[in-house]
Amino acid sequence: MNFKSAVITFPGSNCDRDALTYLKDLTQGEVLNIWHEESSLPNVDLVILPGGFSFGDYLRSGAMASKSKIIKDVISHANDGRYLLGICNGFQILTEIGLLKGALIQNKSIKFLGKDCYIKKKFNNKFNCNIQNNEVLRIPVAHNEGNFYCDQETLNYLHDEELIAFEYCSGEYSLDDANINGSLDNIAGITNKNKNVLGMMPHPERAYQDFHLSNHGKKIIESILS
């Protein structure tokens, strides 16, 4: 199989290199790094919008990045049914583009959270199909605006259409609430209606190598490739 993927870099992205390594190691295919000012995105199977602080988080996290030149092609990529994964700031960018519902607002604690968290799968999709129900994944988070918010009607829609991919839960080493940031219904990641676009706050690319505290982040790419 010749799986092709790409990582978009914005000014202020800081997880793009990790995402590139993650894709190279786990897909064994060609991985492109695309600068946000490029006018076209080559045909690839998966695009990652990486974590970081695109445009310094000015105005709102992800707001300026969502208007970058490359985004027009990112939207076409998603509309063609190919895979698009937004991690952390990438999730914020996807909600600002409007490919995903809701918004990510400041953590309830007003603290930047940089630590491991625990998540489990809520509804099945192509990004988590290799993960068992009730299997707890240990994956790091690093965010200031990870508190998922939407109105009640949208929240009902996310449940009814089974678009919630991951929810925070308690785990072996957790000392505090399962819901680390105040997200509605413990939401850690959602998909679009076609389930080919996933946004998630935890960083799977920081949990796959032998020296990481867990390798549970592998399961997302393994699911996509399965």
Partner 1 sequence: MRFKILIRLKSQILEPQGKVIEQSLKSLGFEEFSNIRQGKLIEIDLPDSLNERERLEKIDAACKKLLVNEIIEEYEVLG
Q: Which residue stretches of the chain are H helix?
A: 16-27, 71-79, 89-97, 152-160, 218-225
User: Quick check: 33 and 16 in contact, CB under 8 A?
Assistant: yes
Judged by CB under 8 A, which stretch of 37-45, 60-68, 81-89, 132-140 contacts partner 1? 60-68
Task: For 89, list phi and psi in degrees, rounded to 5.
Answer: -60, -30
Q: Is residue 63 a contact residue for partner 1 (CB under 8 A)?
A: yes
Report, in Å, the least distance between residue 2 CB and partner 1.
Answer: 39
159 carries an active-site annotation: no
- Residue 93, classed as helix, strand or coil, is helix
The span of 25-33, 47-55, 71-79, 96-104 binding partner 1 (CB under 8 A) equals: 96-104
Least distance from C-beta 181 to partner 1, angstroms? 11
Q: Which stretch binds partner 1 (CB under 8 A): 8-16, 43-51, 100-108, 211-219?
A: 100-108
The verdict on 3 binding partner 1 (CB under 8 A) reads no
> Which is nearer to partner 1, 145 or 205 (by Cβ)?
145
Task: Provide long-range contacts, Cβ within 8 A and 24+ apart, for 177-181.
Answer: 178/118, 180/107, 180/113, 180/115, 180/117, 180/141, 180/146, 181/107, 181/108, 181/109, 181/113, 181/141, 181/143, 181/146, 181/147, 181/148
CA distance 6 to 10: 13
Half-sphere exposure of 206 (CA within 13 A, CB side): 20
Q: Which residue of the set 15, 88, 117, 150 is catalytic?
A: 88
Q: Does 4 bind partner 1 (CB under 8 A)?
A: no
For residue 103, the minimal CB distance to partner 1 (Å) is 5
Q: Which of 25, 29, 30, 103 binds partner 1 (CB under 8 A)?
A: 103
Which one of 77, 143, 203, 216 is the catalytic residue? 203
Q: Annotated active-site positions, please?
A: 88, 203, 205
Contact positions vs partner 1 (CB under 8 A): 59-60, 63-64, 67, 95-96, 102-103, 105-110, 149-151, 182
